Structure 1
Amino acid sequence: MSFWGNPRHGGNSFNRLPPDQAYFDALAGYGATWVRLSYDKWQPANRDFLLGNADAYQGLPAADLATLRATLDRAHRAGLKVVIAPLSLPGMRWSQNNQGQFDDRLWQDKRYWSQAAAFWRDVARELKDHPAIAAYNLVNEPAPEKHGGLAEHAEPGHMQQWYARERGGARDLPAFYRQLIASIREEDADTPIMLDAGWFAAADAFGYWPAPLEDSRVLYSVHMYEPYFATSAPNMARKQPIAYPGPAPFAGQSQQWDGQRVGRYLQQPLDWADAMNLPRSRLVVGEFGCMRRLPGCRQYLEDVLSVLERNQLHWAFYSFREDNWDGMDYELGSAKVPWGYWQAIEQGAPDPLPRKATVEFEPIRRRLSPD
């Protein structure tokens, strides 16, 4: 846990190819100290990378594990710590690897909980001694609430009522995490564990948790893309995109979003942590970002980062040099990418585009390397 004793700043890696040495060296060169690494887009030995098959976990495929180890080695050579962040678990295949369909099986049937616990026990056994590992982020953006009758961004009282009803069932996220943590601790007593809030790691979704988990090496993570209607890819397809700052839909109504509103929204996990007597060093904003071509994107990044900086939180921006989606790759500036970028994806070839520090990237770059 000593790594997390001071605010740590890094980036997300959600690439389709395992990142090479130059990738990690470049991220470290900006001043980042950690990378949140997802592997679900990499070519798997079987159906699902590292899982084998999310329909029925039976062990870690050796070839996938070797690829992951080699990638961790490269990050370590660059001086970066790594947080492993799977997008899929048994019974919860990531929608982009599932024909665009949300997979709710994990939140309906606890036999998948047991498979997920076995998966994480195996991962912990294999990776606990790797010097790059700084935490296990048990699953990216869980959403047991989505098909469980709780509206996104519901009022705190409604969230708490919902949890009281679901407690002990298959949609009980804290209980799910407890089972996975117990399984990990059979093999690894020391590595920190990072937990995303529910409703896709929404900043208001820890509000229904009545207590933190008992393990003393747990970090609590939220993601920040609100107002999603303005910051996300669908907004750029509108004839007149929703601007930031400005009014945007949120929780079923139009609200004015600006730096102050961002601050109030992000105050919610801070208030929860205070109520639970958790120090700021236990809170992480594991993802945040906006579409780089949105004219207000730089201001949005400034507004979010100002809150994170003021509260001395750990953070990782989304995303660093993503090789299959350019929407939040701020080193590309605000221009469209050339055809060669998409051609490389079709051919399974490495990303050919050069990167550089741009004005769009400046809010992040300045805080990665404040000196």
Structure 2
Amino acid sequence: MQTKWSRILWSWATGLTICALMPLASAADLFNFWQVTQRGGNSFNRQPPAAAYFSALHGYGATWVRLSYDKWKPAGRDFLLGDADRYTGLDADDLAQLKATLDLAHAVGLKVVIAPLSLPGARWRQNNHGRFDGRLWQQRAWWEQAAAFWKDLAAALRDHPAIAAYNLINEPAPEFGSDLPEHAGGERRRDWQRKVAGSARDLPAFYNHVIAALRTSDAVTPVMVDAGWYASAAGFDGWPQRLADDKVLYSFHMYEPYAATSAPNMKRSSPYRYPGRVPFGGKPQHWDAATVAAHLRQPLAWAARHGIAKRQLVLGEFGCMRRWPDCRDYLEDVLHVAETEDLHWAFYSFREDAWDGMDYELGRSPVPWAYWQALEQGRADPLPRKATEVFEPIRKRLLRP
């Protein structure tokens, strides 16, 4: 029979053991989170989202949010990095702000995927006076700083209960400025990848390098990687094999045909329509539901060839200009493929506070002057948000079990 003190000591020791194991067990379960279809939205806001923001997204049925912080006000030159020109460690104030925001998401039950727009040697264009920063893809010395950053960030966030994955960098473009066209065919992509293997433009090698460093801080949290050429759906075609790590989620984005879905189309006297003929890859091409499906199935075919489970594929962003007459039909067709193939997905974007173009809760109408006035004054815009016709393809699918 246990004495009173032996029972106390046993309970105390057991409690310590459970507490020690809890973070590890939680992290180990994160890959299981992605074994069921997860639907969510992107947050690329200039202000850290408040509790009401996460609550509203979760209220629609979203289970995760892809969170970027590069528009937030930094303590130094670049948020969290301190300075993308010379990384020396995480900024403590910025890290505290990020953790506080993660706490808010966790409080309402949302999982978060951290998605930096900048890394050392690759400052996001909009924070770089509109210029593409390709140093990361020109000199491998920058890879060391990027690896050090992710090693530090993983150590800081590995036990946070909101984290579902680390998205190493948003929309990388090591191909930019090279002789590989953005819409090149698969064989040309494979030739180009063989040519750049081992160089600073070798995106799979970059990912393997960074993941190896990250794993010294966090052995279990899934890592999400975007395809090349700005996360193109065809961007994986050149990769000769899967990455070395077995807890990787492979992400691609969908805005094609970009000439039709993007803001410049809305300025045309006769905007491109959907379905319809739209410039793509340097020539007109007919785009309809079948074309969308064929385009989106490119990463699925690549994954199947390399033994990658479909549950490891993520449609990380997709969208169209909300005022485009065909936006709802386009979203319907994109999501039909995503749901048919059981892909994880996150729409772009949820209540973006610096741009109304893909804020589907605003419907098809132009925003009033009060919206822009609030942005100029650094205030939250006063417009109410609600489910609208253009948001319906997303809303009804967020509610699916």
TM-score, normalization: structure 1?
Answer: 0.99
Q: 1:368: which partner in 2?
A: 398
Q: Deviations over 1:270-303 (max 9, x none)?
A: 1001101111100000000000000000000000
Aligned counterparts of 2:107 and 2:382: Cα–Cα separation in 1: 23
Residue 234 (structure 1) shift:
1.1
User: What letter corresponds to residue 170 of structure 1 in structure 2?
Assistant: A
Q: 1:128: which partner in 2?
A: 158
Q: 1:258: which partner in 2?
A: 288
Aligned counterparts of 1:130 and 1:285: Cα–Cα separation in 2: 24
Secondary structure, in 3 states, of the residue corresponding to 2:393?
Answer: helix
User: What letter corresponds to residue 80 of structure 2 in structure 1?
Assistant: L
1:60 aligned to 77, 83, 90, which one? Answer: 90
Secondary structure, in 3 states, of the residue corresponding to 2:34?
Answer: helix
Residue 331 (structure 1) shift:
0.3
Matched, 1:198 2:216: no
User: What letter corresponds to residue 225 of structure 2 in structure 1?
Assistant: L
Secondary structure, in 3 states, of the residue corresponding to 1:99?
Answer: coil
Matched, 1:343 2:341: no
User: What letter corresponds to residue 42 of structure 1 in structure 2?
Assistant: W
User: What letter corresponds to residue 187 of structure 2 in structure 1?
Assistant: G
Matched, 1:93 2:93: no
What is the correspondence of 1:242-257 to structure 2 with a 5 Å cutoff? 242-257=272-287
Q: 2:10: which partner in 1?
A: none
2:266 aligned to 236, 248, 255, which one? Answer: 236
2:355 aligned to 325, 331, 350, which one? Answer: 325
Q: Would you say the 8 A contact 1:148–1:171 is kept in 2?
A: no
- The number of aligned residues is 371
Matched, 1:355 2:385: yes
Q: 1:145: which partner in 2?
A: 175
Aligned counterparts of 1:14 and 1:342: Cα–Cα separation in 2: 18
Matched, 1:282 2:312: yes
Q: 1:218: which partner in 2?
A: 248
Q: 2:17: which partner in 1?
A: none
Q: 2:79: which partner in 1?
A: 49
Residue 155 (structure 1) shift:
1.1
Q: 1:268: which partner in 2?
A: 298
CA RMSD in angstroms, aligned pairs only: 0.7
User: What letter corresponds to residue 79 of structure 2 in structure 1?
Assistant: F
Residue 370 (structure 1) shift:
2.8
Q: Deviations over 1:230-262 (max 9, x none)?
A: 001111111211111100011111000010000
Q: Which has the larger radius of gyration?
A: 2
1:113 aligned to 140, 143, 149, which one? Answer: 143
1:104 aligned to 107, 113, 134, which one? Answer: 134
Q: Deviations over 1:300-353 (max 9, x none)?
A: 000000000000000000000000000000000001111122112211112322
Aligned counterparts of 2:383 and 2:71: Cα–Cα separation in 1: 19
User: What letter corresponds to residue 192 of structure 1 in structure 2?
Assistant: P
Q: Would you say the 8 A contact 1:86–1:139 is kept in 2?
A: yes
Aligned counterparts of 2:210 and 2:96: Cα–Cα separation in 1: 23
Q: 1:163: which partner in 2?
A: 193
Residue 148 (structure 1) shift:
2.0
Aligned counterparts of 1:226 and 1:58: Cα–Cα separation in 2: 38
Where does structure 1 lack aligned partners over 5 or more consecutive residues?
A: none
Aligned counterparts of 2:294 and 2:147: Cα–Cα separation in 1: 36
Aligned counterparts of 1:138 and 1:340: Cα–Cα separation in 2: 37
User: What letter corresponds to residue 264 of structure 1 in structure 2?
Assistant: A
Secondary structure, in 3 states, of the residue corresponding to 1:54?
Answer: coil
Aligned counterparts of 1:279 and 1:113: Cα–Cα separation in 2: 28
Structure 1 stretches (4+) deviating beyond 3 angstroms? none
Residue 149 (structure 1) shift:
1.6
Aligned counterparts of 1:148 and 1:331: Cα–Cα separation in 2: 39
Q: 1:183: which partner in 2?
A: 213
Q: 1:312: which partner in 2?
A: 342
Q: Would you say the 8 A contact 1:201–1:223 is kept in 2?
A: yes
Residue 158 (structure 1) shift:
0.8
Bigger mean CA deviation after superposition, 143-152 or 217-226:
143-152
Aligned counterparts of 1:356 and 1:192: Cα–Cα separation in 2: 33
TM-score, normalization: structure 2?
Answer: 0.92
Q: 1:18: which partner in 2?
A: 48
